[in-house]
Amino acid sequence: MNKKEKFIIRGLGGKRALKGRVSLNGAKNSALKAMAGAILFEGKVELNNIPNTEDVHTLNDILVDLGAKIQWKDNDPSSKTLYIDASTMNKTDINSEKAKVMRASVVLTGPMLARFGKVSFPAPGGCVIGARPIDLFIEGYKKMGATVRLQDEIYYIECPKLKEAEINFEKITVGGTETLMMASVLISGKTVLKNCAKEPEIVNVASWLNACGADIEGVGTDTITIVGTGGHLLKPQNSYRAIPDRIEAGSFLFLGALTAEELYIDNCNPEHLSLVIDLLKNSGVSIDIVDDKTIKITNSQNVENKSYRAFNVTTKEYPGFATDLQSPLVTFLTQCEGESAVTETIFEGRFKYVNDLVDLGARISVIDNNKAVVSGPTPLYQSQDNHLTAHDIRAGFAIVLACLIAKGNFTISNIHLIDRGYESLETRLRAIGADIRRE
Ligand code: EPU
């Protein structure tokens, strides 16, 4: 993977000039969980449509450190096919440094506890998008009979035989739902998880586990029931395929609306995007669902800078408006006519990028750290300092989008954060006519 650390962008100055097709990758937030799920299997599993992103590589390194054998098809990550054999795993302590880089690694704890009866990992601290505690995981493990010890910032969790339990999540958690679901797959007895997250990525992983011998019911609803295999590992009789990345899709929808004359988004699942598509259509964006894998955005009026209408959004768990699309949305709203309020309900620290948009000319105020009020439209332009920074994966995309709209030349640093979630973003944007390069 290219480690060059900056994007250099020449903005379009409000023109909607990009044209062509972008193809989506497999969903990172499903692929990472399937990689963890490989620990539940006897022998080598095949995972397909795996995005070649930094987070996938980090989790790969953590699994290798634990003794798993991992190989890309033809030794080439662009093959998108990854083979994982967890039968050689010989450690139960998750590498602290790597795990701190990627908090999603906590999802490994469920399958590891299920298979090896113990696991240790670093206590996650706060991160740029919020506090991100793991109390709901810990509570769940305790209900399943595990002992939990925290010493020198390392959690030690042990339970030779996890037992059946009913776990009612106090708060909806994607990672908690996936992790406790996977922790339950090999037990003797039945686990009932209540108040679960319903994200399509969870359904994607559970369907694969079921196709290989797991008994998981109710995924995609509030209540998931898992009848364990009684200690039998799953059989790699079916391969996994990551669903299209709906967050990437949503990101490109906002990008298309603001910068494209005509943009096709290929390899997507429009059903997972219905809310975003409706919001954008109501705002005046011309969107066609071409078929079950393709969406088209057209600047039908062909008028530069024609404004869309402002609207209000509150982020919510799926099927609500995804927190991961909040920052591209706010960038979009800077170009809409009127006042919009965006309320963040999932993470408390997710408006840090707003200052950068304001430096580019946007009119946004953040209230109580959880609500952004945007007044638009405002042309964006290069201020005296044209250096910007990616704060997290999604805010990084939002800043790229803002620079593409704006008039001027920009440098964005810290782009390894963008690489965590968007594979070769600059290559795909250049292919549709954007002036962006990595340096
Ligand atoms: N929470 C707790 N206690 C817990 C677990 C979560 O209080 O034990 C809180 C969190 O602090 C947060 C809320 O519950 O306020 C929801 O967190 P959740 O567990 O659902 O998030 P996650 O599993 O850590 C995943 C995605 C995020 C995405 C969120 C919400 C992965 C690897 N990450 O995180 O994706 O924002 O769900 O949809 O699946 C991204 O891709 O850029 C990203 C941040």
Residue 196's pLDDT is what? 98
Ligand 1 centroid – CA 346 distance (Å): 8
Pairing verdict, β 308-309 and 409-413: unpaired
3 state SS of 107: helix
Residue 131's pLDDT is what? 65
CA dihedral 273, 274, 275, 277 (to 10 degrees): 80
Q: For residues 125 and 122, what is the distance between their CA atoms, to the nearest angstrom? A: 9
Contact criterion met (CB below 8 Å) for 106 and 124: yes
Residue 431's pLDDT is what? 98
CA dihedral 281, 400, 35, 159 (to 10 degrees): -100
Q: Which residues contact 353 (CB under 8 A, 6 or more apart)?
A: 327, 391, 395, 398, 399
Retrieve residue 246's tokens.
């709906």
Retrieve residue 2's tokens.
């290219």
Ligand 1 centroid – CA 190 distance (Å): 25
Residue 300's pLDDT is what? 66
Tell me the pLDDT tens digit for each residue of 382-419. Answer: 987 899 999 999 999 999 999 999 999 999 999 999 99
**Residue 137, ligand 1, Cβ within 6 A:** yes
Distances (CA, A) of 351 to 125, 129, 185, 354: 19, 8, 37, 6
- For residue 178, give the ligand 1 atom closest to its CA: 23
Ligand 1 centroid – CA 382 distance (Å): 34
Retrieve residue 89's tokens.
């795993």
Choice from 59, 134, 139, 171 to test ligand 1 binding pocket (greatest atom count within 8 A of CB): 171
Q: Which residue has the tokens 């035989």?
A: 161
**Residue 105, ligand 1, Cβ within 6 A:** no
Identify the residue whose C-alpha is closest to ligand 1 atom 28: 324
Ligand 1 centroid – CA 360 distance (Å): 29
**Residue 171, ligand 1, Cβ within 6 A:** yes
Identify the residue whose C-alpha is closest to ligand 1 atom 26: 29
Contact criterion met (CB below 8 Å) for 273 and 250: yes
Distances (CA, A) of 117 to 158, 225, 348, 406: 6, 21, 34, 54
Q: Write the single-letter amino acid at 284.
A: G
pLDDT in single tens digits along all 439 residues of the chain: 445 789 999 999 999 999 999 999 999 999 999 999 999 999 999 999 999 999 999 999 999 999 999 999 999 999 999 999 999 999 999 988 888 888 889 999 999 999 999 999 998 765 676 667 899 999 999 999 999 999 998 999 999 999 999 999 999 999 999 999 999 999 999 999 999 999 999 999 999 999 999 999 999 999 999 999 999 999 999 999 999 999 999 999 999 999 999 999 999 999 999 999 999 999 999 999 999 999 999 986 555 557 899 999 999 999 999 999 999 999 999 999 999 999 999 998 899 999 999 999 999 999 999 999 999 999 999 987 899 999 999 999 999 999 999 999 999 999 999 999 999 999 999 999 999 999 9
**Residue 52, ligand 1, Cβ within 6 A:** no
Residue 1's pLDDT is what? 43
Query: To 5 degrees, how large is the angle CA 262–CA 267–CA 273?
Result: 80
**Residue 135, ligand 1, Cβ within 6 A:** yes
Q: Which of 102, 104, 101, 108 is nearest to 86 (CA)?
A: 108
Q: Which of 26, 100, 35, 21 is nearest to 64 (CA)?
A: 35
**Residue 421, ligand 1, Cβ within 6 A:** yes
Distances (CA, A) of 263 to 109, 182, 274, 384: 41, 39, 18, 32
| pTM confidence score | 0.96
Residue 398's pLDDT is what? 98
**Residue 77, ligand 1, Cβ within 6 A:** no
Ligand 1 centroid – CA 130 distance (Å): 10
Contact criterion met (CB below 8 Å) for 10 and 409: yes
Identify the residue whose C-alpha is closest to ligand 1 atom 17: 173
**Residue 393, ligand 1, Cβ within 6 A:** yes
Retrieve residue 30's tokens.
């499903």
**Residue 394, ligand 1, Cβ within 6 A:** yes
Retrieve residue 132's tokens.
């991100």
**Residue 323, ligand 1, Cβ within 6 A:** yes
Q: What are phi and psi of 201, to 5 degrees?
A: -65, -35
Identify the residue whose C-alpha is closest to ligand 1 atom 22: 175
Choice from 25, 106, 132 to test ligand 1 binding pocket (greatest atom count within 8 A of CB): 132
- For residue 132, give the ligand 1 atom closest to its CA: 11
Q: For residues 112 and 97, what is the distance between their CA atoms, to the nearest angstrom? A: 18
Give residue 348's region: left, alpha or beta (phi > 0; psi -120 to 50).
alpha
Q: For residues 169 and 339, what is the distance between their CA atoms, to the nearest angstrom? A: 36
Identify the residue whose C-alpha is closest to ligand 1 atom 14: 173
Q: What are phi and psi of 361, to 5 degrees?
A: 110, 0
Residue 383's pLDDT is what? 84
**Is 127 marked active-site?**
yes
Distances (CA, A) of 234 to 39, 41, 45, 341: 9, 4, 10, 47
Retrieve residue 267's tokens.
């390899």
User: 294 - beta bridge partners?
Assistant: 291
Ligand 1 centroid – CA 132 distance (Å): 7
Retrieve residue 291's tokens.
């078929």
**Residue 138, ligand 1, Cβ within 6 A:** no
Distances (CA, A) of 418 to 3, 329, 396: 12, 17, 6
Retrieve residue 126's tokens.
């706060």
